[in-house]
Structure 1
């Protein structure tokens, strides 16, 4: 077994990167895949709450990367579904680590999982470059507004320059009024700006925020849940028609 390693990233904060990372992990696991989520946003940990492991967390990824514990001690199984585990980020914003150990960790863990999802911090820097070096694919999380689109294009070019050319766009928090987008004339503007293929469109759904804050996942009774599940299915190689309303 060798995991497909996927970066969940964005050019700016607040686009729903953590929610989508948690949702994709959940639905990939529900499809029978063994999934590990690595949270790399130092000082701003939240996936442990979303995945229901916060009360059990003792060690984090910085403990592993600084040699304070073995990886198995920092991996926590999520109670929300089988086959889903995570390694949480550190709560220390100034945490330092070895890039060599990070590469070795990801390559070693890849033999035990089908998918490894890595949530990146927003913006650029050494951590993003380190993550880029181990990933097979980047999912660029974009909201349909000019600032997010511009930042996503800058990020996409940055990833290209560092060798990660396989990228896909996920358009999140899509709001409509009477069937019309609230900000843009149409979603093609996002694709034309970022210049990467589209893999999914997720509508704005307040229930997603409530569910994740309570350590549970949005269900497929909601359109957003169906959209995330369909992205997970596409990541497994299944053909799912991309329906954009």
Structure 2
């Protein structure tokens, strides 16, 4: 596995690029074909992140009491404006926080604001791709961001138990990003999973890949996140092992 060196500045730059592009695609498409749901869900998520990440504590947030009646969906111009404001506000909030600022997260990782600076950057990039897909003009996720997104799936989503693929398989999967000079080795042990760094770990197990998936970093990430089929990648070996890495 090649080392990735993403930073707060890197993730915030991605947010500043993908946030407006997402709003443009949503505005172009209008409230039809699921875009209204995407807009409402993302607006609520960003509002929650802003409230959670600024608490300065690492304990799990107390769930809000359910509203007695669901609030009516806002009219489309108001919903679009709310999304725009939440994206802008979230960027400002994350920009103001030191990456080491204490902040709860749902993964088996240090409870720091850096988690959310990374997570929101990837969430916005994927939602941007979703909205552009509906508009019929999806563009790939930027190469370095997509490579970091693949790493996020492997070091965050899967260890946190957010795996959607089969969990009864054993073997080693090699992922190769053709445009990013990155590769990842992942060992599946049934429900268990280990991200291997073959450059530094002494391990007597055979690292020979039982499955290999090759594609651009964007295509690898979109496949792992359920946006593309794994058979759209160049596959070798048992394709079920690649499908076992899906988290979306």
What's the TM-score once normalised by structure 1's chain length?
A: 0.30
Bigger strand share: 1
Q: Which one has the bigger helix percentage?
A: 2
Q: Specify the structure having the higher radius of gyration (Cα).
A: 2
